[in-house]
Structure 1
Amino acid sequence: MEMTEIIADIITRKESAGGLKQVYYAACGGSLGAFYPAKCFLEAEAGMLRTGWYNSNEFVHYPPKLLGRNSLVVVASQKGNTPETVKAAEMARAAGASVIALTWETDSPITKHADYVVKYTYGDGKDIAGEKTIMALLTAVEALAQTEGYENYNKFRGGVSKIDGIVKQAAASVAGRAEAFAGEYKDDTVIYTMGSGASWSSAYMQSICIFMEMQWINSACIHSGEYFHGPFEITDEKTPFVLQISEGKTRALDERALKFLRTYGKRFEVLDARELGLGAIDPSVVDYFNHSLFNNVYSVFNKALAEARNHPLSTRRYMWKVEY
């Protein structure tokens, strides 16, 4: 089933209970980050639909009071076997919620606790329009369009049709920069990331999933707006930052941070969505596509950094190796 059909089916099934009223997102790590644009979309665009964005384990132990027959819970797990997310799906279903599972492995534990299973694209050469972030966004966009209505629906769909080409062209354009980045930062023991708006989670994922998990580099993700309320005190000519400049409503926050870095810092890498071509998407919906752009452009930098450090992205010390 297409996402349009899945959401239509959910809404039909919930009519007798009073309709669809809440859309919750629960996942861990990179999957949680991929859900952030969808959460931001509903917060910004919906009038009545409630939303929430949860780490799966917190969702299990500290669930929202409204979780029940009027709820849709969207979960995601790459291999479909993340224990906390499998439990979140099981709990949501037991509470009467409809469950959509986004996964790359459709024959996996999480599918046993889902009403609908959606396989997303993954890996080199993937269609960006079919990746996890866009699939999650479509659950939010369709839910809003089919309940309250969404005036920019066609513009959003237009953005989906363009995002693959934009991202692949952007990724190709940064190859030289990525090599230079790897050479400059390969010996650093700490790198901070910074971003804002619906794309903040791509900076978060870069910090926790790449620098910390896959490269063992100390890192923290700083919100561009919060930078001036504490974190900017660590800025100097030696401390490295990666700063995302989003296209859309929160661009001013990122540009303010960049101005400060240019004045008091020296070692920073800037990923500007406008320079990378995202301006081709309509301004009314462009905010929700920054994440897909940044997250995939980061991949070019990450491969170069891993090679320069002789530290493969698959290297782990604890993950999948010890009990936790």
Structure 2
Amino acid sequence: MSTEVIMNLKEQVKEALTVIEKRTVKNVFFVSCGGSFALMYMSKYVVDREAKIIDAHIYSSNEFLHRNHSKLGNDSIVILCSHSGKTPETVEAAKLAQAKGALTISLTNIIESPLAETAEIALKYEFGKEAGFTSSHSILYQITFAILKAVENNDKFEAIIKSLEQLQSVYDKALKYSEPKAKLFAELHKDEKVIYSMASGSNYGAAYSFAICSLMEQQWIHSNAIHAGEYFHGPFEILDESVPFVILLGLDETRPLEERALAFTKQYGRKITVLDAKEYDLAGINEEVKGYITPLVLNHVVRYYAEKLSIERNHPLHTRRYMGIVKY
């Protein structure tokens, strides 16, 4: 990634910060669909942990429209993400937010798009294997911590920026470490009809994205993202030695939930794949924000697993039956 692109992004975030500083902010809404919605879980967790005043809400775009939250108003910031910037529900969500006086911030890969043109602040992210610092996940964190800094004088903004600058290096090392494991996973799971994912806290978005995007959308494999805290309240009854699980272990405060779920699954299951953030080289990541950075890394790794699976199954990730093909 060129220095010019990185500096331009930093300038975008800086300009956004000046706008945010002029407003009274009581709540933040994270609004998107699909994979873009999944990444919002991470920032929702950040606000829940870090904010003393601001409330955080997360909604799929269409529900945001129909629910029409009573607290949405002049004191709100609504952050919306769409890769193409054309997702109809998300564009309409931005219009509703603006009509109610909220500050709208969009994240898109295409700046000349309906969502970017609708939002008051439009941030462009890069997409690809070398887009660590300029990726959608990184930019969402940057703007989330910028809000916390502007509104609550939160002191972690610099730590998160410096850590995100090391993200690509961490990604590269994590994928190199994961290559043989991902290949084995693909070989062992190529004929599976169902694969469950599980995580909690800031990592749940990565598990959710893996289930609905990587497996269901892109591989047509039945799946469900199980919250580790809910596992023992129904879902664990599906477990036996024939059922595959992919379990993510992060470094945030909810790790004990994931460890408990893993321990039980090991007791009665056999097809268990564990992605543990403790195994990755996180050099350069500030200790106080490691719990926030690791879900980005886990998300990157689990997508790599999906790539290897698609190759083994001879089912390219871009294959679709309905999305963008038929009317819905």
Q: Same fold (TM over 0.5)?
A: yes
Alignment of 1:167-186 (within 5 A): 167-186=171-190
What is the match of residue 220 of structure 1? 224
What is the match of residue 129 of structure 1? 133
TM-score computed with the length of structure 2 as normaliser: 0.93
**Aligned equivalents of 1:50, 1:299: Cα separation in 2:** 30
| Aligned counterpart for 2:109 among listed residues 104, 128, 136 | 104
- The secondary structure found in structure 1 opposite 2:57 is strand
1:307 aligns with 2:317: no
| Aligned counterpart for 2:293 among listed residues 289, 293, 311 | 289
Deviates more, 1:226-235 or 1:2-11: 2-11
| Aligned counterpart for 1:266 among listed residues 257, 266, 270 | 270
- Matched to 2:52, the amino acid is G
| Aligned counterpart for 1:90 among listed residues 75, 86, 95 | 95
**Aligned equivalents of 1:78, 1:49: Cα separation in 2:** 27
Alignment of 1:1-324 (within 5 A): 1-12=11-22, 14=23, 19-126=24-131, 128-278=132-282, 281-324=285-328
**Aligned equivalents of 2:254, 2:286: Cα separation in 1:** 15
1:124-145 Cα offsets, whole Å, 9 max, x none, are 322x122111211222211111
Seen in structure 2, the aligned counterparts of structure 1 residues 280 and 240 have a Cα distance that, compared at 3 Å, is: farther
1:28-87 Cα offsets, whole Å, 9 max, x none, are 000011111111111111111122111000111112212121111111100110000010
**Aligned equivalents of 2:282, 2:128: Cα separation in 1:** 22
Deviates more, 1:21-30 or 1:161-170: 161-170
1:196-231 Cα offsets, whole Å, 9 max, x none, are 111111000000011101100000001112112211
- Matched to 1:67, the amino acid is L
- The secondary structure found in structure 1 opposite 2:248 is strand
Contact 1:102 / 1:132 at 8 angstroms: preserved in 2?
yes
Structure 1 residue 25, shift from structure 2 partner: 1.1
The gaps in structure 2 that reach 5 residues or longer are 1-10
Structure 1 residue 280, shift from structure 2 partner: 5.7
**Aligned equivalents of 2:177, 2:257: Cα separation in 1:** 25
Q: Identity of aligned pairs, percent?
A: 37
Contact 1:27 / 1:76 at 8 angstroms: preserved in 2?
yes
1:159-202 Cα offsets, whole Å, 9 max, x none, are 22222211111012111111111110010100000011111110
Structure 1 residue 242, shift from structure 2 partner: 0.2
**Aligned equivalents of 1:132, 1:225: Cα separation in 2:** 27
What is the match of residue 7 of structure 2? none
Contact 2:145 / 2:156 at 8 angstroms: preserved in 1?
no
Structure 1 residue 279, shift from structure 2 partner: 7.3
Contact 2:210 / 2:303 at 8 angstroms: preserved in 1?
no
Coordinate RMSD, CA, aligned: 1.4
- The secondary structure found in structure 2 opposite 1:320 is coil
